[in-house]
Structure 1
């Protein structure tokens, strides 16, 4: 086992070599549905060379994981803790991984209803389907490279999905002014909540397991 500090991060990586086959075995669910990772508190076992790139693709030891089923499997045991880092969690171990931006990418959006009764439903690249509402808010941050906006939706736990750029344009087409001309803030309604299309805090991604 070797220890290294990831450049640009305050987190330390104790990089442990694990075969992809062993990772699959450890992550494989014992039942149906999403595993209760938020209730598991195993010991931290160091970090592995796994990375979720800003475009939502997953990589292991520098090689893309192209099997969609594997990506979905690992996504079910992913957790974003209060320390800002991301981990793969099983009942007996907690393994740090690197996430460059958001762990998921929202690739489809469906809008039904109008005005305050509108509901926006998103599908992610790992198969999650989520409706934007007070429990699953949409937030916007400024994209430093362009000065534009990057939208994110909370999927589960502290895990967010970044909306693919075409969805930003779809959101813009649905934007309305809150309170009419008297207010003037633009945003979108979904699930009874109004999400203002203005930048908030910086993205929470790009953190490593300690």
Structure 2
């Protein structure tokens, strides 16, 4: 069965986003513990592009399907896992990129390059690291998997922080405050 295209976050209300999140049923990858089978020969680049044997995977629906079985291991590595096999996958930074956001009613929702939706808050915290190219914000997606917040979305966050009067500058979502500075 083909995966439907991701929704357009800009066209959704925050209640619709929350309903889509609540209706999502992620694969139970934490419950699958097959033997390690080797290397998938796949890599996720910092910009969110998925590669297999050095070539970009052009079918977005296939990439979205693979992303549903991605898991972060206790040692910090990443694997593609199903009930029968577990394969390593290289991840250059974070496996996802937050490419869009929407702020409404005291909540900030993010959408990844693969269509995942999350609302920043206790279960999906924002964190900031220092990088050579400036601050690097991340949002928790699921099970230890994060999305690097794209530069354009980071600028939207910064504009929200500037519009507020918090010191240090930051944003609030779902009852939590997130300072826009590295920890």
How does the TM-score come out when normalised to structure 2? 0.83
**CA offsets per residue over residues 159-187 of structure 1, 9 Å max, x none?**
00111110010000111344xxxxx2111
Aligned length: 158
SS in 2 for 1:198: coil
The yes-or-no answer on 1:47 pairing with 2:39 is yes
Gaps of 5+ in 1: 1-31, 179-183, 201-210
Aligned counterpart, 1:185: 168
The yes-or-no answer on 1:107 pairing with 2:99 is yes
How does the TM-score come out when normalised to structure 1? 0.73
**RCO higher in structure (CA 8 A, sep ≥6):** 1
The yes-or-no answer on 1:174 pairing with 2:157 is no
Please list, as runs of the form range in 1=range in 2, the aligned pairs for 1:100-139 lying within 5 A after superposition.
100-113=92-105, 118-139=106-127
**CA offsets per residue over residues 108-153 of structure 1, 9 Å max, x none?**
100002xxxx100011111111000011000011112x2x111110
Task: Give the root-mean-square deviation of aligned CA atoms.
Answer: 1.2
Aligned counterpart, 1:154: 140
Alpha carbons of structure 1 residues 177 and 81: separation in structure 2 relative to 1, 3 Å: farther
- After TM superposition, give the deviation of residue 198 of structure 1 in Å: 1.3
Q: Distance in 2 between matches of 1:126 and 1:38?
A: 20
The worse-fitting range, judged by mean Cα deviation, of 91-100 and 33-42 is: 33-42
- After TM superposition, give the deviation of residue 34 of structure 1 in Å: 2.3
Which runs of structure 1 show a deviation greater than 6 angstroms over 4 or more consecutive aligned residues?
none
